[in-house]
Chains A and B, each alone.
Chain A
Amino acid sequence: MKQRQILDSKQIDLAITRLCYQLIEVHNDFSDSVILGIQPRGILLAHRIHKKISGIIGKKNIRCGDLDITFYRDDFREKELIPSSTQIDFDVEKKNVILIDDVLYTGRTVRAALDAMLALGRPRDVELLALIDRRLSRNVPIQAKYIGKTIDSIASEKVVVAWKESDGKDSVILLTEK
């Protein structure tokens, strides 16, 4: 396994800051917008973005939830999946939803997330934010509106996003076989 760092902690912070300003440009004070992090790896990014936006616009009550998609996946018989919890204490009905995940790869996770979210209500608008977009590997026609960094990678490679909260430090690493 060969490792190559794509983003270090400073670059991640810069990317997140840029994404936050892009979101604020579109959503103003977030009074009609909600943030949904996709379980399990998207929620750390979502929480971080939520915290940063709250700091920038000086508003405490921006809504942010965790969305578990395990039971909506189409591959649960091929992989072992451990369900996480869905924690959304607000209504998504008629809201502008920002779905957040760390890596956009095949797009299947996002497809499942759309299903999971629709079971909770009918949002007015849904946008997707991903820290890393592996743009050459899509299986379904799904595109992110906000992207931290776009990378070209092949299927045998793996992108690992590590977070300070769960893995000790922030970094994005590309793993290549051999």
Chain B
Amino acid sequence: MSKLSTSHLLGIKDLTHSDIELIFKTADNFKDIINRPIKKVPSLRDITIANLFFESSTRTRISFELAEKRLSADVINFSSSGSSVKKGETLIDTVNNILAMKVDLIVMRHPAPGAAHFLSKNVNAKIVNAGDGTHEHPTQALLDAYSIRQKLGNVKGKNIVIVGDILHSRVALSNIYCLKKLGAEVMVCGPTTLIPKFIHTMGVKVENNLRKALEWCDVANMLRIQLERQDIKYFPSIREYSMQFGLNRHILDSLKKEITVMHPGPINRGVEITSDVADSKQSIILEQVQNGVAVRMAVLYLLAGRHEEN
């Protein structure tokens, strides 16, 4: 296998196990390259990539832009604030106008779930989903799994708990797909109101007690409470949430084993995770960010290099 089975990266759901392995293997090569004095390769020098961000982002956007530049692609950045989207232009029109300027690949983040799928059916370019609402965030899940693989040697057979706002989290959904495909055991943990009703159909365990979840797991992936997506109150107060589901030194030290702590960012320090945990040796948060560039380089390289048989 030296080719992805799909011509867009819309979600982990569409990827096969061998796709994910291929991305990881390619990312290993790029990780090597970005640690060299000259961090660039000329592979995508004939490709133009547009980063369309209809929703705010720091890490993902910088990470994609760096990945694109290290592959020598030409990059244009677009954010919806200050653009004609505010004047009432539709998504397809905006994208087709950008494509008319000869863009080959689109990286898009959008607040509407399914926006990337919609675009892939309506415009003629390769699409990489950089997060669509509460649906999927495939590159984050790939870099999370890649970081687990790097830290623990393998993903298969490992116990991974995702803690927090599962209901509004695209990171959680993509992570569940990705980890299950790689053969890990997945548990979600959080207040019942923030756990989707049909989560058990995905074959994951559900736990409402953080201590029990931590005792079970090898890796804890802590998620942020997405207040911007919550139109009603799902729990009494942030303080109460933090008391029950926040990860702190005390609870980590009381466990019999040392678990690995992850966070996709942005961190709300003192809510889902305390500073002494986030900055500790057990946390691989900054490794995740570093691996993000290599994984995104692999995804872009494999998609841009994929030739269509006709």
Contacts and interface: CB of A to CB of B under 8 A. Distances in A.
B302 to A, nearest CB: 10
Report the contact-size class of chain A (Cβ under 8 Å from the partner).
10 to 19
B76 interface: no
Interface SS of chain A: helix, strand, loop or mixed?
A: loop
A168 B141 CA distance: 42
Given A71-B301, A76-B305, A77-B307, A83 B41 contact: no
Contacts of A82: 2
B2 A120 contact: no
A60 to B, nearest CB: 27
B2 A78 contact: no
Contacts of B3: 80
Interface of A: 68, 70-73, 76-78, 80-83, 85-86, 115, 119-121
Contacts, number: 42
Contacts of A72: 41-43
Interface in B8-56: 25-26, 28-29, 32-33, 36-38, 40-43
A38 to B, nearest CB: 15
A73 B45 CA distance: 11
A19 to B, nearest CB: 30
A76 B29 contact: no
B52 to A, nearest CB: 24
Given A71-B33, A71-B301, A77-B305, A83 B42 contact: no
A68 B29 contact: yes
A71 B36 contact: no
Given A85-B29, A86-B32, A78 B42 contact: no
B41 A71 contact: yes
A4 to B, nearest CB: 30
Given A71-B42, A119-B41, A78 B29 contact: no
A81 B2 contact: yes
A80 B2 CA distance: 6
Nearest to A78: B307
By Cβ-Cβ distance, the 8 closest A-B pairs, closest first, are A71-B41, A80-B2, A119-B38, A82-B2, A83-B29, A71-B43, A76-B305, A77-B307
A72 B36 CA distance: 15
B239 to A, nearest CB: 50
